[in-house]
Amino acid sequence: MNLKQAFRALVSFGLGIFITFYQAHGPDVGLGVLGVYGVALGIGLTALTLTKKAELAVLQELPVAVLALSVGLFALLALGNQQTQLPAFLALVSAWGLISGAFELYQARRSGFKTQHGKDFLISAVFGFLLGLLFLAVPLDTVSAVGFFGAYLAMSGVHLGIAAASVKKPK
């Protein structure tokens, strides 16, 4: 089992289910969940990455942890002002989707698009790009924006959980 994918799956799916069943879909909820998501991924992925041997392939995975932590901290800081919560949420989710999608696409290319690991990265990249483009191209109200973010988290969690459980060890 791939521990990084399992950790990402657990965090993503848990927060996606939280948004799904939480009745208030306000920008404060979206920013709070985005903040928890980013901080949890940032700290968790950094810890899992640093427990491995410090080889170049491992160190190339640190940027997603730094990105997640940065987005999470910005989201938590944006909770303070109610007037800027929705624009901050839309901007941060757009940035998260596009940048993480680009990084996942890079990882897919590096792993090889025909390998199982590369295909998993490619699916994650498509999810990220679609989320970022949706938040940029379509004028979303608060409820829709938070709902789409929750759907992204839930779908990513399911995908990453399946990917983590189906990893085959090399012979």
CATH node for 3-165: 1.25.40
Quote the CA–CA distance of 169 and 101 in Å, as a whole number.
Answer: 26
pLDDT band at 117 (very low <50, low <70, confident <90, very high): confident
What tens digit of pLDDT does each residue of 23-65 get? 888 898 998 899 889 888 888 877 877 776 555 445 556 677 7
What tens digit of pLDDT does each residue of 64-103 get? 777 777 877 887 777 777 888 899 899 989 999 999 899 9
How many residues belong to the chain? 171
Distances (CA, A) of 120 to 23, 52, 145: 32, 21, 25
